[in-house]
Amino acid sequence: MTARRTGRPLVPAYLSTGGVATPRRGSLERLSVLAATDQPVPQGLPAAQHALLDVLGDGSLTVVESAALLRLPVSAIRVLAAELTDRGLVTSRPPVPAAEPPDPDLLKRVADGLRALKH
């Protein structure tokens, strides 16, 4: 890290986490994709779990979109989705196949896609 010339404080090396690869296996990310399975919904399912199933409908939503639509904190969706997954009523998949650093081909497709949106 270079010396700072200005008033902006230097980030000490010991504070740097060296990237965003903190392992968090098994836990749902904001962009994990949720979908309902076609298993029958059991009687007496807690209302909050029911609400998540309803908002998923027969499509897919990310954790963060489910939270926004249900007006619940992301942490609550993580819990509800985990319970529904345990019951076999919901499946989840991670946002991207794990790659660190990000796959150059994926980055190129993001750039090409953005360029195509300009008008």
Partner 1 sequence: MASAPSSTSGLRQPGSGPHLPDTARELVKILVAGPFGVGKTTLIDSVSEITPLHTEEQLTEASVAVDDLAGVRDKTTTTVAIDFGRISLPGGVVLYLFGTPGQERFRSLWDDIAYGALGALVLVDTRRIDDSFDVLGLVEETGLPYAVALNTFPDSRSYTEDQLRAALDLEPGTPMVACDARETNSSIDALLALVQHLIDRSAGT
Task: Compute the distance between CA of residue 70 and CA of residue 51 in angstroms, rounded to an integer.
Answer: 8
CB of 83 to partner 1, least distance (A): 19
Neighbours of 29 (CB within 10 A): 16
- Give the nearer residue to partner 1 in terms of CB position, either 9 or 88: 9
Q: Which is nearer to partner 1, 27 or 43 (CB)?
A: 27
- Select 22 or 43, whichever has its Cβ closest to partner 1: 22
Written as six digits, the tokens of 54 are 């309803």
* Contact yes or no for 33/61 (Cβ under 8 A): yes
What is the nearest approach in angstroms of partner 1 to the Cβ of residue 43?
A: 27
- Closer residue to partner 1 in complex, CB, 44/100: 100
Interior angle at CA 64, CA 76 and CA 36, nearest 5:
80
Interface positions with partner 1 (CB under 8 A): 2, 4-9, 11, 15-20, 22, 24, 29-31, 33, 57, 59-62, 64-65, 67-69, 71, 73-74, 95-97, 101-102, 104, 106-119
Q: How many CB atoms lie within 10 A of CB 33?
A: 16
